[in-house]
Every structure is written in structure tokens, then in C-alpha cells.
Amino acid sequence: MISIESIEIEKFRGIKGLSIDLRSKSFAVSGDNGSGKSGVVDAIEFALTGSLTRLTGKGLGDVSVKEHGPHVDSRTEPTLSKVSLRFRMAGNNQLFTLSRSVSNARSASITPKSKPAEDAIKDISAHPEFFLSRREIVKFILTSANDRAGQIQALLKLESIEKIRASLQSICNDKTRSFEAAGVNFEMTKSRLASSLEVAELKKEAILAQVNARRHTLGFDPILELRPDTNFFERRTTKDFQPRIDKATASKVIDQFETSLGAPEFLFEIDEAKTIVQEAVADQDLFSALRKIAFLRLGVTFLSAQACPFCELPWDLAELRALIEEKLKASGKAEGLKRKAATSNQNLIKRIIDLETKLENLAGLSPALKLSDEQVATLNNWKQHFKDLRDVIRLEKVDENTSQVLVDWQGADELRKGLISEMRKRTDKLPEISKEDVAREFLFQAQEHLQQYTNARSLFASAKIEEKIATTALDEFVAACSRVLNSLYISVENDFCTYYKFLNSDEGAFSAKLTPTPGNVDLKVEFYGRGLFPPSAYHSEGHQDGMGLCLYLALMKQVYRDSLSFLVLDDVLMSVDTGHRRKFCELLSQHFPKIQLIITTHDRVWQRQLVSNGIVSDENTLRFSSWTPESGPLTHRDSDVWAAIDEDLFKNDVSGASHKLRHGLEFFAEDLAGKLKARVEFRPDGNYDLAILADVTSRWKDLLTKAIAAEKSWGHDVSTLEERLRLFREAVAASQVEQWAINKSVHYNAWAQLHVNDFSPMAATFKTLLNLLRCQSCAAFFYVASTGSKSDSIRCKCSSLANLIGKPVSSAVPMTGSGG
Amino acid sequence: MMEKLTAQILNDFIEKMKAHSEIDSAAIDRLKKTLIDNEETTRPKIESSLFAPRKP
């Protein structure tokens, strides 16, 4: 574990030069929009990762760290733009510095070099999620389940797991399709072989009987065993035998087709299949889903190029493939109906395949029967029609022609009466051939089809094994993900609910359901006992931001366990109200007490809450204002303000010095008004100007007067307090601050017109005035300590200056100080 | 360096794959080498690990 000891920023983003001493503790930077506070978080992110989330993402194509990382006035000198972070290692307290320059953003230097330091930086660099902005929070909540999964996977470093899953899914889909195609091919070759052997089923005895009868005619020995390499026709090769078609063979081919086409079982099964198809066509949603599946399946086949075939824009192939696979999976009802169609129409599909084979044989007669081109085209059209019919029945082909395919089917009778009848007539003109030639033709065809069948069977068997392996791999992978991640998601869900309930005590019964499915993480949250809804359904924007933070913290806890060392939160509570922000402070201090937080906010109230809740100490806060390109942000730390004024005066820049004095005094006055509980005129916009310095001085005099009286009542020496009051009155008179409250027109607006010799003593007067409000030992401003609404004492960081409650006089009624 | 959760999932996956007798142990070894040792996640690499190259 490491923590940030200090930050040194030079000419980076909106900052010209800034050093911040964090002392390995939490730190808060506040400032209005455009005050440059995000420059600090950018610097931390850049030093650790070499990149900037703010300069990456959609719509930021023209922006880069190299060109836009340096301060706007140092664009041409990236070597001068650099950030150094000094870290402290927990355990041995060893210090090391990490430095990175924009000119060489890819590599950072670590001094002094050590393996533990390098490992620690490597570990954090791999997890840029330590940086969170409101833009990132929204991505956890107001997003699709798929995008949320992406965010969570990135945070849990599971992108590679998702890539593997998408690859396995894609392999599985391809293997399933190959298996289906090999199955159809196998059925076709089987049907062709049975047809050529003139057997109903491919049984050894029947096959050998048919083959041996022809072999006997030719004087060959009978074949006794059937093996894959059995040769029916061993004395003739395909080279020296020219098959001829005779009248008997042609008649047989026509008979076989007509018998299959007119089989009563076939017609009955067709009618049965129509019911499922019509169900799909009648339901508009189902029909659309089936069409979408067909479209997406077709789309998958185009996913081999690196760019879209339409617009030619490059795409992320893996991401797109995974998206399409997910969409396919999501069409549950439609896929169910498809499965039902494939299962219940299994026999019919085999019959159609058989019919297609027989139609092929029929088409093979075309040259011998001298069919015209038109007649050949009719046969080919019917071949396509049978294929369409097969696809429609399996619900693979669903489009506006689906119903037409079923209607067209009824035209098969016309085919039989027309073209087939004509073909039968023409067979009479075919020659009669010898019984030896018929036997040779039979064996030749049978041998060809046996070869095709053997190959197809072998391919089908391989495809079946591959489909099984691919399915098993995908199933086992998804199961492994579930086993490992489900318990993690349950912990995240529990922590998320705990944190959210902590922030929102009025939602004590709050619950949430985080449901991971491959590629998605669905989030539903409970809304006041009314059920589970998406987070954006009823909860306010502030609550949604709170949810985002809680989910982020719950996930970070799982990612880092006890090694989470620091978090950078960039204005993450913009939409959260004061009460909930206070609860968030408590949540951080109770659940993440050891984590160093670097928090930026535009809200000074929240910065004070962070201090009062002990998340950050007073000296670990910084306020930015008055950013200009030339100066960068103006920081309101004591030493910074007076050093910057001295520097301006040295350059005779009274205008710059007066600007810094005014903003510095405004900051200190506001800070002191809070510490001393001064009564100030309420401003709804929270923008208090320098007029409240008079309220502060008046309050301090009042407090000292009360303290002198209280201390006297206890019999304590009050000479120091009286001297402090006297000096303070003199300083107030010298600064004329209380006159401004009466006549605002003559005050600080005229400072810029002064000569340097007039301005310098005036600035020194204010420095003296403010120093009188500090402890000389610890240099911190005094503050009023209270019990409930009662002001008890004036204190500083190191000790108590004075009591404000006097000794009870007679009736045990204490003499109280000002109630503030 | 592989992230802990990723390694946990992959190891679990490989162990469960070993229980399938129909899958060649050489294929599982290749898959382990691809996914865990070489940290390869591309589809072609995974596919060629899962299925031995076909004989010409």
C-alpha cells in the first residue's frame, strides 16, 4: 500500500506551477467551475497512468494528452510539462518519487528505484479506477445492462474473460451451424445411396443382396462384408466406364420421385408443419423476432472484415460479434418455437431431403430426355422450392414470402401432371440396354453414392464431436464464471445496500438485485416497498448519484480488499444535497477509514463538512479561485497568498497584487466567519464578499471581551487577552475594515489604482490583522468550540486560548459567553 | 500479470474441462497454455487450441 505524500505540477493542463503537501493524508480542493481544481486530479491520473480519462472517449477524437496535456501557453514545449508524485510506502515508510513528462507520457521514472516501488506503481497503473468523476458514476447506474457489464468488467479487470466467453460463444454457434449443415448433407447422401441401391433402408443384408445380384450378372464374386472401403465395382474404374441411361432406369427414377411426392404420410406431415409456421406468421411480434434472428444470423456471416461492408467504418469485430450473439440469445420465445419446429418436423425434413435427392436424379435425366432450357429451369426452380420449404418448416427462412412458399407447395401436383408426365412419355424413346450394362450402371452409381455417403458420414461424425466440445467448453466456461462471480456479486450487492441505506436512513428497507448474465449485469433497486425497479425509474438524480457512488465503493472493496490505498473523487456529489453529503462523510470515515481520499468539489460547504467530520484536516484543504491562463488557479493558502502578493509588488504589478489580496481576504474572512461563528448576512447564492470581514473583526472583539470577563470570574490572569484585544483594535483601525461596512464605495475596489508604495503597507496591515487571529505556536486560526448551541471556549489546534463560560455566581446559573 | 479473478475463473474452467472424458487431454493442455500461460483471448487462438488441426 502506498499513499501520496506530495504533488508537484509544472505547466500541466490549467496549472502553471503548484506544489501540494498532502502528508499522506486525505486532501480536499474546492473552487468554482473553471477554477482549475480538476488540474490536480488530472495530474495524479497522468502521473500514474500516462493518460487522461478526460481526454479520451466519444467525441474527443481531436484531443490528446500529447497536444493538450501541456499548459495552453506551453503547447510547444511538452518537455516542460510534467508531474511528480511523492509516495510513502506503508510498513517501511520509504519515500519515492514518480515523475512523468508529457513529452514521454508512456514511461515514468521512479527515484530511488526499488522493486516494491515499481510493483506498487504497476499495480495502481493497471487500475485507473482509483479515479472517479461524476461522468463515471453515471455509467454504473444510468446505462444498459450490457454497458454496465462493460463498466463492471473493466473495474474487476474481467474484460479478457468477456472476450473469451464471446469467442467461445461464437465458436459454439459456428460449430452448431456446421453440425446442422453436415446433418442435412449426410441425410442427402444417405437418401441418394438408398435410392441408387433401390432399398428402403440402408441395411447390410438388403444392400448386399442388391449389389451381389448385379455382380452375379457380371460374373463377379459376391461381397460378403460391408466396410467403408468396400468396392462394389472393382474391375472397372470410372475412367473406362461411360454410364448410359436406358428406358428402365429412367422410368425407375421418375417412379421414385412420384412415389415420394405423393406419399400420404408426406402430405399429412406437411399439413401438421403448417400449423407451427402459421402460428409464427400470425403473431406479429414473434414473426419480427424470427425475422430478426434470420437477419442477425446472416449478419454474423459478414463478420470477417475489419470494417462495415456498407459504410466502411472500422468496427470492433469481437465486440460486434458478441453483441449479435447476445441479441440472438435474447430472442427467447422465437428461439423456442424454432427448436419446436426442428424437433417435431424431424421426419418431414428427412422426407424433403429425400425428395430433393430424387429431384436431383430426375434432373440428371435432362440430357437423355432432351429437355428444353425452360424445362430444366422448371426442375431447378422446384429444387430451390424444396430447399425453401425445408427452411420454412424449420423456421430458418422467415420473410414476406413465407406464406407464399406454403401456397406454392400446392403447385407440386401441376409439376407431376405437366413436366413429369412429359418426361415419362420421352422415356419410351430411350434405348434398351443389355442386362450387363444395367448391372454395370447400377454398381457404378451405387459406388459413387457410397463414396459420397462415407465422406458425409465421416464429416457429420467430426462435426458432431466438435459441436459437443464447443458446447461443453462454453457451458463449462459460463458455469466457472458463475461459480466465481456469483459470490462476488452477492458481496457487492450486500455492500451496495449497506452503503446506500447508510446514506438514506429513510429507505431502511432498501434492497437491490444485481443479476449477472453472460455479457450483462442487470440492476434493480427497491423503491419504498413498491417493488424492484431500474434505478432511473423513480429515484431522484441525487439518489442515483448516491447509488453510483455506493456501487463503485462496493466494487472497489471487492477489487482491492484491504490493499485499497487511495481514491480520487472529482466533484462526485454535485447532485447530492447537504444532508446526504454529511452522511457520505460519515460513510467514508466509518467504512473506509484507512483510505487516503483526494476530493475536489465546487462546493465550499461540503469541503467544510469534510473537515468537521474529520475526513480531511483543515491544513489539508485548498481553495482555488480566479483562474487565468497566465497565472493558473489562485490558491488560498496563507504562505501562497502573501508570497504571490510580494511577487506581484516586486514586479510593480499592483493590479495583480490587489486582485490576490481581495480574493485571499474573502477566503480567509469566510473561513474565519465559520470558525468564529460570526453573524453574517445570509446570501442565498453562498457568495460572500469581503464585507463579512467586518463581521469577523467585530465578532472577534466581542469574543475576546467575553473571554476576559469569563477568565476573570475564575480568577485567571487576563493581561495577555487584554493585550491581544488592544492590538487587534489597533489593527482594525489601521485597516479601516469596519468603515467599509458603512461606506462600501471607498473600499478595496480602488486598490488597483494605488501606487506600490501605498499598497504595500496596506497589505502588511491586513497580514498583521489576520495574524492576530492565529495562534502563535501552531499558526492555525482560532475557532469557537461549542457544546450544542453553547459556545464553550476559544481554541486553536494546539491548545485552548480562553474560556467563554464564567464561574457560576450564586444560584448555580453559569455566566455564559455569546451563543454565536 | 493475470488478474486474480480472471485466473480463478480460468483455472476453475480448465479443471472442469478435464472431467469430460470425450475431450482430448491434449486439447485441454493446449487451451490451458493459450488462455493461462500466454494470456491469449482471440477467437482463432482459442479455436485452434480446442480443436486439433485437421489432417490433410
For the stretch A628-663, pLDDT in tens is: 776 677 676 656 678 778 888 888 888 878 877 887
Q: Does the pLDDT value for residue A708 go beyond 90?
A: yes
Q: Which of B46, B37, B21 is nearest to A168 (CA)?
A: B46
The three cell numbers of residue A721 are: 487577552
Q: Does the pLDDT value for residue A79 go beyond 50?
A: yes
Residues in chain B: 56
Local structure of A246: helix, strand or coil: coil
B23 touches chain A (CB under 8 A): yes
| Interface residue of A121, A167, A175, A319 to substitute, partner B, most B CBs within 10 Å | A167
Inter-chain CB proximity B5 and A156 less than 8 Å: yes
Q: Does the pLDDT value for residue A457 go beyond 90?
A: yes
Which residue bears the cell 528505484?
A113
Taking the C-alpha atoms of residue A387 and residue A393, their distance in angstroms, rounded to an integer, is 10
Identify the pLDDT of residue A716.
92
| Interface residue of A119, A125, A160, A485 to substitute, partner B, most B CBs within 10 Å | A160
Which residue bears the cell 403473431?
A283
Whole-number Cα distances in Å, A722 to A288, A370, A699, A700, A705: 89, 130, 16, 13, 8
Inter-chain CB proximity B9 and A168 less than 8 Å: no
Residues of A with CB under 8 A from a CB of B: 156-158, 160-161, 163-164, 167-168, 170-171, 318, 462, 465-466, 468-470, 472-473, 476-477, 479-481, 483-485, 488
User: Who has greater pLDDT, A544 or A819?
Assistant: A544
CA distance, residue B16 to nearest chain A CA (Å): 7
| Phi/psi at A5 (5° precision) | -90, -45
Identify the pLDDT of residue B31.
93
Q: What is the mean pLDDT of residues A214-218?
A: 90
Identify the pLDDT of residue A316.
66
Q: Does the pLDDT value for residue A743 go beyond 50?
A: no
User: Who has greater pLDDT, A56 or A559?
Assistant: A559
Local structure of A25: helix, strand or coil: coil
Q: Does the pLDDT value for residue A740 go beyond 70?
A: no
10 Å CB burial of residue A689 (0-12, 13-18, 19+) is middle
By Cβ distance, the residue of B23, B41, B43 closest to A171 is B43
H-helix segments, A508-573 = 535-538, 541-560
Inter-chain CB proximity B6 and A476 less than 8 Å: no
Identify the pLDDT of residue A480.
92
Whole-number Cα distances in Å, A447 to A359, A361, A459, A522, A679: 20, 15, 18, 59, 108
Taking the C-alpha atoms of residue A6 and residue A87, their distance in angstroms, rounded to an integer, is 7
Identify the pLDDT of residue A575.
75
Q: Which residues contact A781 (CB under 8 A, 6 or more apart)?
A: A668, A671, A672, A675, A773, A774, A796
Identify the pLDDT of residue A681.
80
Angle made by CA atoms A459, A463, A466, in degrees to the nearest 5:
140
B29 touches chain A (CB under 8 A): no
User: pLDDT > 90: what percent of chain A?
Assistant: 16
Identify the pLDDT of residue B14.
95
Do A639 and A43 meet the contact criterion of CB atoms below 8 Å apart?
no
Q: What is the mean pLDDT of chain A?
A: 82
Q: What is the mean pLDDT of residues A311-325?
A: 69
pLDDT tens readout for residues A518-530? 666 778 888 888 8
Which residue on chain B is closest to A469 by alpha carbon? Answer: B23
Which residue on chain B is closest to A156 by alpha carbon? Answer: B5
**Residue A17 is which amino acid?**
G
Residues in chain B closer than 8 A to A469 (CB atoms): 22-23, 27, 50-51
Count of CB pairs separated by less than 8 Å, A with B:
72
Neighbours of A491 (CB within 10 A): 14
pLDDT tens readout for residues A34-57? 778 888 888 998 898 888 877 765
H-helix segments, A622-688 = 638-650, 654-676
Angle made by CA atoms A451, A452, A455, in degrees to the nearest 5:
85
Least confident of A296-305, A492-501, A665-674: A296-305
pLDDT tens readout for residues A101-147? 988 888 889 999 999 899 888 888 877 777 887 777 777 777 777 67
Identify the pLDDT of residue A96.
94
| Structure confidence at residue A62 as a pLDDT band (50, 70, 90) | low
Q: Does the pLDDT value for residue A192 go beyond 70?
A: yes
Look at the alpha carbons of A496, A502, A504, A505 in this order and tell me if their dihedral is positive or negative. positive
| Interface residue of A129, A455, A468, A472 to substitute, partner B, most B CBs within 10 Å | A472
Angle made by CA atoms A609, A31, A133, in degrees to the nearest 5:
80
CA distance, residue A791 to nearest chain B CA (Å): 54
Q: What is the mean pLDDT of residues A740-744?
A: 48
pLDDT tens readout for residues A153-167? 777 777 788 888 888
Identify the pLDDT of residue A76.
78
Laid out side by side, the sheet with A800-803 consists of: A783-787, A790-795, A800-803
Local structure of B36: helix, strand or coil: helix
pLDDT tens readout for residues B6-56? 888 999 999 999 999 888 899 999 999 999 888 888 888 999 999 876 554
Q: Does the pLDDT value for residue A746 go beyond 70?
A: no
Local structure of A711: helix, strand or coil: helix
Do A794 and A703 meet the contact criterion of CB atoms below 8 Å apart?
yes
Q: Which residues contact A749 (CB under 8 A, 6 or more apart)?
A: none
Do A535 and A514 meet the contact criterion of CB atoms below 8 Å apart?
no
Identify the pLDDT of residue A817.
46
Do A45 and A83 meet the contact criterion of CB atoms below 8 Å apart?
no
Taking the C-alpha atoms of residue A216 and residue A421, their distance in angstroms, rounded to an integer, is 34
By Cβ distance, the residue of B9, B17, B46 closest to A484 is B9
Identify the pLDDT of residue A87.
93
Taking the C-alpha atoms of residue A734 and residue A765, their distance in angstroms, rounded to an integer, is 7
Q: What is the mean pLDDT of residues A537-546?
A: 84
Q: Tell me what percent of chain B is helix, strand and coil, each rounded to the nearest 5.
A: 65, 0, 35
pLDDT tens readout for residues A363-374? 988 888 889 999
Identify the pLDDT of residue A754.
75
CA distance, residue A156 to nearest chain B CA (Å): 8
| Structure confidence at residue A310 as a pLDDT band (50, 70, 90) | confident
* Alpha-carbon A695 to chain mean position: 51
Local structure of A79: helix, strand or coil: helix
B43 touches chain A (CB under 8 A): yes
Q: What is the ipTM of this complex?
A: 0.96
B42 touches chain A (CB under 8 A): yes
Angle made by CA atoms A46, A51, A55, in degrees to the nearest 5:
110
